[in-house]
Amino acid sequence: MTIEDEVRSLQKFRMFHKVESGKLKLLAMISDRVVFQPGEVIYEQDAPSDAVYIVLEGQYKVSLHTAAGTIDFAQHVRGALLGEAGVLCDQRRMVTITAETSVVALRVDREDFLQLLEESQPFNHAVMRELGRQIMDLNNICAQLVQRLPHGAAGVDASVSVAAPH
Amino acid sequence: MYVNFFRYVWQHSRREQIIVLFYVVASLPFYWWSLDVPKRIVNEAIQGSVFSHGQDKALLFHFTLTLPNFLGGYSFDLSDGWMLSQLPYLLALSLLFLVLTLINGWFKYVINIRKGILGERMLRRLRFELFSMVMRFRPEDVRTTKSAEVTSMIKDEVEPIGGFFGEAFITPAFLGTQAITAMAFILVQNMWLGTLALSLIVVQGIVIPHLRREQIRLGRMRQLESRVLAGRIGEMIEAAPALHAYGVTRYSGAEIGQRLGTLFDIRLRLYRRKFAVKYLNNLLAQLTPFIFYTLGGYLALQGRLDIGQLVAVIAAYRDLPTPIKELIDWDQQRNDVTVKYEQVVGAFAKDFLLDNEPEEDPTPVAPDAPITAVGLRVVSGRGLVQIDRMSAAISRPGRIAIVGPAGSGRDILPKVIGRQITDYQGSITLGGHELSSMSDRMASATMLYVSGEPYIMSGTIRDNLVLALRRALPTPEDPKSAFDRYWRDEALKTDNPVVSPDIDWVDYGSLGLSGPHELDAAIIQALRVVDGYDDIFRVGLSSRLGSDLSPDVAERMLNARGAILAHYAELGIADYVESFQPKRFNTNATIGENLLFGVSIGQRFTPENLPYDPFVRSIISAEALSGPLTTIGLKMVETVAEAFQGLAANNPLRERYSFVDDAELNELWPKVESSWQRGQRRQFPAEVRDKLIGYALMYVEPQHRLNLIDDRLVERVLRARRSFRQFLPAQDTGEIEFYDTKKLMPGATIRDNLLFGRIRYGKAHARDRLVAGAAEVLTELGLESFVVSKGLDQEAGPGGRLLSAPQRATVQLARATLRHPDILILDDALSSFGASEAHMIMNNILEAMAGKTVIVTQSNDDDVSAFDQVLTFEGAKLVGTERAAPAAEPADEAVEAADEAAGPAEPMPERANPSQANPTHQEAMK
C-alpha cells in the first residue's frame, strides 16, 4: 500500500470530501501506517493522548472501564477519526479502543495533527464537521436514553466521570 | 569603585606604574647619547675636526666624572680611552651609535611589555569588578537591565580603556621627558633654532587640541548614534515577524535609512575635520625643517653654526614631533577614555546593591520557622499596586497554594517570597529575618524559587541539573606546578577568584550524600519525581556509544544485545525489530544504510556526503544503481514538491522529509524541468543527478511509502554492499564500522548497538514497548545508569536550545527537586506541561517534598484539596487564608494525602472543569 493508495482511501471518506488531494497527501506523508492484529489495543483508556488515528480498514471496539464494570460500545468500521478529542483538549484517553479484525490505520502525531489543522483550512473544517457529527449522534443517544428513564430519576452531571481508573 | 579614572588606576597599579617610570627615567641618558653621537660622527669622524691639528690619532671614550665645585671639584677618570686614527674612530663611533640604538630599542620593548601586562591586569580586574557588580544588582534592577548592553559594556566598551591603563601615567612621563630631552638638546646646540622650534611646538600644542575638541564631540555623537542604531536594528530583527504581519517593513526601513543618514553625516563631518587637522599638523611639522634648512643653512654658511650641529638639530627635531604628536594623541585618548570609563562605571552604579557574599556560612533557618507578612505592600515601578497591605502567617512545614486569577497578587507573592521582588513596603520575614535583606547564601540554603521560565545554561544536561548544588565553598588548592602558581598569582593580583571552577563544587553534605558516586542515583531519583526519567533514558539510548567504555561495560553491552532480543521474543515483540543481516536487505533502513551496512565514523560516508564521494559513486554506477536511484530521487522530489507546496521552509510538518531542503528544491526543480524540455527524461546534469541520488539514499519504503523498491533494486543494493566492503581502500577502513553481531559499534547510538537493527514501521507503540523491554533487560544487567548517564552527558545547547520546552521545564524542576530545599516555591513552574501531566508531576513533587514546605501558584479552577493552607487573591487583595483542619499529626497526614493524590487510584483530574468551581451556575442550569 503506497501513499497514493492511502490518499485514494481517504478521499472516499465523507469527512474528507472537501479536502484537496494535496493536503490529503500531506496528511499521509506525515503519518505512519500502522497495522493492528485482532484483539490488539489501539489505545488504552487514561493513556496520554499522543496521536490521532485514522482508520483505513477493519473493525474496532470502543470500551469504557467504569467502577461498575466495562461498558462496550457498538462496533465501528473504517473511516473514523480516533482520539482527536483527547488531543484537542489535552486530556488523557477517555476510552479504550481494541481492534476486532485486522485494522489498518494512519497514525498522526499530536503535534503534527495540530500543525496540520493550522495549515489547512479544509482539513480543519473536516475535523470540525466530524466533531459536530459526533455531538449530534451523542445528543440523539442521550435523548433516547432519557426517554427510557423512569419519571423523577436523578439528573446527570457532566462533570462526574463514570470512567474508572484502568 | 572610584568614579575618577586616574584614581582608580593609581589605586590598583601604583607599584607597577612606579617600576615602569623608573625604566623611563633610566632610558633618558641613553636617548640623549643617541642624539649626541650622530653629531660627533659628522663633526669629529667625517669632517675630522679632532684631526684638524695635524694629529693622525685622537682620543676616544675618555670619560671623566667631574664633581661640582661645592663637592670639592674632584675629577675621576672613569676610562682612559683609546687613541684611534680617523677610520677606526669613525667605525668605533658608528658602532657606539648602533649599540645605543639597540639599548633604546630594548628600553622601549621592556616598557611596552610592562605597560601591556599592566593594562591587561587592570582590564581583567575591571571586567571582573563590573561582572561582580551586576551579580549584586537587585532582582528588579537586573530585570530592567538590557543584557546585551551589559555584555557589550563588559566586553567591548572597556576594551579601549584596557589599552589606556598602561598609558595613563607612563606615556606622558615617557614621551614628555623624551620631548624635553630632545628640546633641551636642540636648545644646547643653538639657542636660536631651539627657541624657534619651541615656539612652533607651543603653537602646535595650543592650536591642534583646540581643533580636535570638535573632533571629539563628533566622535562621541557617532558612538551614541551607532549604539542607538545597533539597538534599533536588534529590536527590529526580533520583531521582524510582527513587522511582516503588520506590513510595516517599509516604515521601519525608512527609520533605519534615516538613522544611517544621520550617521553618515556625522562621519562625513568627522572625516573632514580629521583630515583638516592632519593637514595642519603636517604643515606645522614640515614648516620647522624649512626654517632649519634656510636659517640653519644661512648660519652654517656664515660660520656661526657647524654642519654637524645642524644635522644633529634636524635629527633631534625629526624625533621631536613624534613625542609631541603622541602626547597630543594621549591627551585626546585620555579625554575619550575617561568619558567612557565614567559612563560605564556610572551605568553600573545603582542606588542599592546587594551585600557581598559572606565568607562564613550563616546560621541556618529553622525548618519550622514561619513566614510572616505584616502590612506587605508591593507597588510596581509604574505605581500600580500589586499587593495591597496583606498580613498573613504561613506555618511550616506545610503545603501552601496561592490561588487567584492571572495577574493578581497570586503572581506577585511567590516572587516576594522567592526574593525576586525585594522592593516592597511593610515586612515579610522568615524565622525573623527580613527576606529582602537576607544574604543570597542564607536564603538559598533554605529556599528555592522556580519560575515558569527555565534558565538552562550551555553545558550538558548533567551540568544543568547539578548547577543548583554547586554551592560548596571549596578551599583553593595549593599550586602544584609553576604554571599553577603563575595562574594563582595573576588571579590574586587582580582580585579575581582563585578557586578553579573545575574542582568539585557540589555541596554533598547538605544533600545527605557521601560523595560524587552517589550523585547519579540522586539525579535519577529527582528525574523520576518530575517524570523526566524516561525522557533522559531515551536520550541516552539515542546518544553515541563512544569508545571510552570500560571493558566491563563493553562486555555487558554486548551481552545485553542478545538478552534484549531474547526478552523481546518472550514478550512477543521480536518482530518489531528488523535486525541487520549481511545477506538481507533491511527494509526499515534507508537505501544508503543498506548499501554501507555500517556506521560512518568520519565525515566521508555521512548521509550528506555519500552521493558525492567518488568511491561510493563508482560503486553505485558499477552496480547499475545510478538510473534506479535517480528515478527514486525524482519521485521523492515530485511528491515533496506537490505535498509541501505553500508550506513554510521551517514548518515542522516537513520534518520527515527534512533532508529535502526547500531552498535546494527550488534550485533543483527548474534544472529538472529544463532537462525534460530537452527531451531527456532520464538524463540529468551531474550535480542534479547526485542530489537526486542523495535523496534516494535516504529513502525508507515503509516510512515514505512510494512503492519504489523492487527485487531487482534489492539485488543490486546487496551486490553494491558486497563490493563496497570488498573494494574499500585500506586507508579508508577507519571511516566506517561495519555491522557485526559480535562487535560493538562505538560510532553508533546505544539503541542501534542494543537492537542491532531497525525498529519496524507500521507497529503502533513499537518504540515505547521496545524501549520498555530494553530498559528491563538493562536494569537487570546493571546498565541502566550507564545509559542514563550518557543521556545526562548530552549538550543542552545555549539557553537550552537543544531541548524541547517541556524538557527544559523538566530539567529546571529536577534541578530544584535534586536540591531538596526546605522551601520550594513553584511560581507557574508547570505551565509548559499539559494539564494532566502537570497534575501528576505536582503530586509527585508534593510527595517527594513531604515534611518540607512547598508553595505553589494555582488558578481558581484548580483543585486545592491537597494543600494545607490556601491563600486566595482577588486582584491585589488577599481575601482568604483558609487552613486545613488541624490534625493531631499534621506531618503524617500530609504524607498520606500526598500518597493518595499521586497513587494509581487517582480518578481523572476534575481540574479545568468550570462547573466544578462554580456550583451555583450549575444549579441554575438544572
- Going from the C-alpha of B130 to that of each of B342, B349, B422, the distances in angstroms are 13, 10, 22
Residues of B with CB under 8 A from a CB of A: 639, 642-645, 647, 651-653, 656-657, 702-707, 761-764, 834-837, 904-908, 910, 913, 915-916, 922, 926
Domain covering B1-74+83-190+320-354, topology: ABC transporter transmembrane region fold (1.20.1560)
Under DSSP, the state recorded for B419 is T
Return the residue of A nearest to B836 by Cα: A91
Q: Do B706 and A163 touch (CB under 8 A)?
A: no
Could you say which of B645, B704, B705 has the minimum Cβ distance to residue A22? B645
**Which of B708, B840, B908 is best to mutate for the A interface (most A CBs within 10 A)?**
B908
Chain B hits for A93, Cβ within 8 Å = none
Query: What's the pLDDT score for residue A164?
Result: 61
State how far residue B724 is from chain A, nearest Cα, in angstroms. 31
Q: Do B702 and A33 touch (CB under 8 A)?
A: yes
Identify the helix (H) or strand (E) that includes residue B82: strand B82-84
Inform me whether the pLDDT recorded for A142 exceeds 50.
yes
- Decide if A115 and B652 are in contact by the 8 Å CB cutoff: yes
How confident is the model at residue A166, as a pLDDT?
Answer: 47
Could you say which of A2, A90, A163 has the minimum Cβ distance to residue B707? Answer: A2
Q: What is the 3-state secondary structure (H, E, C) of B806-839?
A: HHHHHHHHHHHHHHCCCEEEEECCCCCCCHHHHH
CB pairs under 8 A between A and B: 86
pLDDT at B910: 41
Q: Rounded to whole angstroms, how far apart are CA atoms B667 and B660?
A: 12
pLDDT, one tens digit per residue, over B227-281 is 778 778 877 887 888 888 888 888 888 989 999 999 999 989 988 888 888 788 7
What is d(CA B854, CA B396) in angstroms, rounded to the nearest whole number? 9
- Nearest-Cα residue of chain B relative to residue A67: B907
Give me the residue from B642, B837, B913 closest to A22, CB to CB: B642
Closest CB from A42, A112, A119 relative to B647? A119
Q: CA torsion B215→B218→B224→B226, rounded to 10°?
A: -100
Identify the segments of chain B with pLDDT beneath 50: 886-926
Distance from CA of B403 to the nearest CA of A (A): 22
Q: In whole angstroms, what is the distance from residue B804 CA to residue B456 CA? A: 11
Q: Which residues contact B853 (CB under 8 A, 6 or more apart)?
A: B394, B396, B397, B398, B399, B400, B822, B823, B824
Q: How far are the Cα atoms of B111, B228, B336, B345, B768 from residue B125, in angstroms, in the given order? A: 21, 28, 20, 13, 54
Residue B111: count other Cβ atoms within 10 Å of its Cβ.
20
Q: DSSP letters of B715-776?
A: HHHHHHHHHHHHH--GGGGGGEEE--TTS--TTSBHHHHHH-EEEPTT-TTHHHHHHHHHHH
Predicted ipTM of the assembly: 0.82
Residue B320: predicted pLDDT: 64
In a mutational test of the B interface, the residue from A5, A8, A30, A157 whose CB has the highest number of chain B CBs within 10 Å is: A30
Q: Which of B653, B658, B771 to mutate to test the interface with A (most CBs of A within 10 A)?
A: B653
Would you state the pLDDT for residue B446? 87
Average pLDDT of chain A to the nearest whole number: 84
Are A25 and B643 a contacting pair, CB within 8 Å?
Answer: yes
Give CA–CA dist B595/B589, Å, rounded: 10
**pLDDT tens per residue, range B119-168:** 899 999 989 988 888 888 888 777 777 676 777 778 877 888 888 888 88
Task: Extract the C-alpha cell encoding B545.
Answer: 556509544
Mean pLDDT of chain B: 81
Q: What's residue B914's pLDDT?
A: 42
Cβ distance of B653 and A28 shorter than 8 Å:
no
Nearest to B656 among A29, A105, A116 (CB): A29
Please give, rounded to a whole number of angstroms, the shortest distance from the CA of B549 to a CA of chain A.
36
d(CA A122, CA A128): 10
Inter-chain contact B704–A3, Cβ cutoff 8 Å?
yes
Q: At the fourth CATH level, which superfamily is domain A3-147?
A: Jelly Rolls (2.60.120.10)
Å from A34 to nearest chain B CA? 4
Q: For residues B749 and B657, is the Cβ–Cβ distance under 8 A? A: no
Of all residues in chain A, what percent carry a pLDDT higher than 70? Answer: 89
Domain ranges across chain B? 1-74+83-190+320-354, 191-304, 371-457+820-925, 544-580+739-792, 582-737
**Are A119 and B656 a contacting pair at CB < 8 A?**
no
pLDDT of amino acid B891? 42
Q: Which of A90, A92, A155 sits opposite B926 (nearest CB)?
A: A155
Q: Name the residue among A2, A36, A48 with its Cβ closest to that of B705.
A: A2
Determine contact, residues B215/B278, Cβ cutoff 8 Å: no
Say how far apart CA B208 and CA B202 lie, in whole Å: 10
pLDDT (0 to 100) of residue A75 = 62
Q: What is the pLDDT of residue B106?
A: 93
Q: What is the model's pLDDT at position B490?
A: 87
**Homologous superfamily of B371-457+820-925:** P-loop containing nucleotide triphosphate hydrolases (3.40.50.300)
CA distance A5 to chain B (A): 10
Amino acid A133 reads R
Residues of B in contact with A40 (CB under 8 A): 764
Q: Could A26 and B653 be called an inter-chain contact, meaning their C-beta atoms sit closer than 8 Å?
A: yes
Extents of the domains making up chain A: 3-147
Residue A82, C-alpha cell as written in the block? 480516533
Name every chain B residue with its beta carbon within 8 A of the beta carbon of A48.
Answer: 834, 836-837
Residues of A at the B interface (Cβ-Cβ below 8 Å)?
1-4, 6, 22, 25-26, 28-30, 32-36, 40, 42, 46, 48, 90-92, 105, 107, 111-112, 115-116, 119, 155, 157-159, 161, 163-165
pLDDT in tens, A7-61: 888 888 888 888 888 888 888 888 888 989 898 889 988 888 889 999 888 888 8
Q: Which of A20, A32, A109, A114 to mutate to test the interface with B (most CBs of B within 10 A)?
A: A32
**B835–A91 C-beta distance less than 8 A:** yes
Pairing label, strands A69-76, A60-66: antiparallel
- Residue B202 CA to its chain's centroid (Å): 50
* Common-topology check for domains B1-74+83-190+320-354 and B371-457+820-925: no
